A and B are shown apart, each in its own frame.
Chain A
Amino acid sequence: MSKFEFPPSIKSRPVWGTLEARAGKHHLMIADAEGAEAILGIATPELMANTHIIYIPAGTDYAARLSALKPAQFYEGPSYAAAVTRIQRVLQDAHMGLQVYLTGTEGLMGQAMHEAMQAGIPHTAIQTEHRGSVARRMQCVHCKGITENVETDPFVCSHCGLNLFVRDHYSRRLAAYQGVCIDAEDPGNVPEPKGIYE
C-alpha cells in the first residue's frame, strides 16, 4: 500500500494531488521508489511516446516495469543528487507545452518542484502525487542544516545535534519542513520520539 491520507493541517503544508495525463507536447515524469506506481497508473503508449522518465528506485524494484512502458527516454539514477543535474538540463532545453509530473516522497517532489519553478513553471501547474514513505526532509531552523528522511518527532539534527520538533511549516524554496528546538527552555526534557503521524 503506497498511498497515505495526510491529516488536515496548516495552510503552509503542501497538499499533494493525483496524477492525470494532461494535454502537452512533452511530458517529464520524475519519481522515486513507490512513485513508480503512480506513473504505471496513468501510462498509455500515446503518453509514453513523448515522455521522459527520471527515476530513483531507492531500493525498490519497479525500474524494469517503468522501462517496459517504453518512454521516449528513461533514466535510472542512484539518488536525487545524482539526477538533479539531468533534471536541470532537461528543463533548460524544454519548451512551453511541457507537462511536469512528480511522484513519490515529499522530499523528491519538493526538490524537483523547486527546479521546475526555477525554470519558469508556475507551481500550481506542476502535478504531484505522494506515494511511499512519509518521511520528511527537514531543515533545522537553528543551524540551517538539512536532515533527510526524518521519520520521528522529535528527532536529532544531523548537523548540530539539537533535539528538533517536526513542524508542518513548509518552505517551497528549501523544499523542507522546519524543525525547531524542542528543549530550549528546559534542556534535556525531550519527549519520547514517535512516528510523525502517530
Chain B
Amino acid sequence: MSGAEKIAVRVTDITPLNELVTRFRFEPVNGGLLPTFSGGAHTVVEMRDGDITRMNPYSLMSDPFDRSAYTISVRRDDEGRGGSKFMHTRVKVGDEMIVSNPVNLFSLDLRAKKHLMIAGGIGITPFLAQIKQLDRAHGNWELHYACRSEALGSYVDYLTTTHPNDVSVYYDDQGQAIDLDSLLDGQPLGTHIYVCGPKGMIEWVRGKAAEMGWPREAVHYEEFLAPQPGKPFEVKLAISNKVIQVGEQESLLEAIERAGVDAPYLCRGGACGQCETNVVQAEGEILHRDHWLEDDEKASDTKIMPCVSRFEGKTLVLDR
C-alpha cells in the first residue's frame, strides 16, 4: 500500500472562519491518541465522493503536541477539481473519514538562530503549528502575513492577540505590502526564511533572498500544487500491462490508482518526489507541472510526476 499509513477519524467540529475558509477537526474513531507531528507537516485527506476518491494534502494547523485531534483549514476553490468544495459542502460533523499519518516537507530547521516566516493567504496554516512548536521551545521567530482583506484574514485576530510583538499583518486591499528589501536586510546571521503562499510570492521571496546572498539552505518554501484538470488522455502501464483512461477532472495518479495499480505517493502536490515514474515512450507532449524534476529532466521527457502532470498527444507508456 502506497502513501503514509492511514488513520480512521471522525469529524468532530466544523467552524467557518470567513467566506472562503473553514476549519475541520478530526479525532480518532477508536479513541486513543493520534501520532505526534512537527510544525509544517501535512496530512492527506481522503474524500469519497461516489466512485471518485480524491486525496488532497492539507497542512496541520493544530498544536503538534496535542495528540487528541488534528485540525486543518480548507480554502474553498470553486475553479478546482472539487476537493475543497466537497469538504465545504458535503462533510458533516460526525462523518468518518480517512487521513494519512502526518508527513513533513516543510519542517523548521532547528539549527536556525531565528525563524522568519512569510505567509500569503491560506499559506498561514503550517505556521500556526510551527509557532506553537517554537513557543514551547522559546524559539526566536517573527511572522509577516499578507492577506487580501480584513474579512479574509484567517487567524489574524488570534495571532495578533497572542503574539502582538511578533506578527505583522498586511492587507492587499488597503495597499499594504511586505517591504521585503528592508525585511531581509540586517537579519542576524543564522536566520532562516520560511515562505508559504501563492507561487508568485514564493518566487519573489526566493529571488530576493538569492540576490541578497542568502544561502539556498536557509530559505524554505512550501507550495502545494493542486492537480489541474485537462484534456482526457490514454496511458499504457507497461509493468501492469493495462491501458487506462485519465479523465478531465482526474489526475494521472488517481487514474492509475482507480485501475487497481499500486503507485507510490506522499504529498500528491508535486513537491515530495515520491511518485516519480519513468516514461517508457512518449509521442506527444508531457505537461510537467511539478516542482520536483529538474528542468533538464522535464525537457528529456524520461520522467513524469503523475500526481500533478498530464499528457497531450498520441501515446504515453509508463514504467508502472
Contacts and interface: CB of A to CB of B under 8 A. Distances in A.
A binds B: yes
A24 B184 CA distance: 12
Contacts of A24: 212-213
B69 to A, nearest CB: 35
A122 interface: yes
Given A25-B185, A120-B189, A121-B189, A96 B112 contact: no
Contact of A120 (B191, B211, B212): B191
B138 interface: no
Contact of A96 (B111, B211, B218): B218
Nearest to A91: B189
B213 A98 contact: yes
Nearest to B191: A96
Contact of A125 (B187, B211, B215): B215
B212 A23 contact: yes
Contacts of A99: 213
A71 B293 CA distance: 41
A57 B252 CA distance: 62
Contact of A119 (B190, B210, B214): B190
B217 A96 contact: no
Contacts of B186: 95
A95 B189 contact: yes
B206 to A, nearest CB: 13
Given A120-B113, A125-B215, A125-B216, A96 B210 contact: no
Interface in B199-231: 210-218
Nearest to B116: A96
B212 A25 contact: yes
A97 B190 CA distance: 10
Q: A-side binding surface: helix, strand, loop or mixed?
A: loop
Interface in B250-296: none
B31 interface: no
Interface residues of A, number: 18
Contacts of B211: 23
B213 A120 contact: no
A49 interface: no
B219 to A, nearest CB: 10
Contact of B213 (A91, A92, A97): A97
Contacts of A23: 210-213
B112 A120 contact: yes
Nearest to A99: B213
A25 B213 CA distance: 7
A97 B208 CA distance: 11
B189 A119 contact: yes
29 contacts: A22-B213, A23-B210, A23-B211, A24-B213, A25-B212, A91-B189, A92-B189, A94-B189, A96-B187, A96-B189, A96-B191, A96-B212, A96-B214, A97-B184, A97-B185, A97-B212, A97-B214, A98-B213, A119-B190, A120-B112, A120-B113, A120-B188, A120-B189, A120-B190, A121-B215, A122-B111, A122-B217, A124-B217, A125-B215
Interface of B: 111-113, 184-191, 210-218
Given A97-B212, A121-B190, A124-B215, 4 more contacts: A25-B212, A97-B213, A125-B215, A125-B218
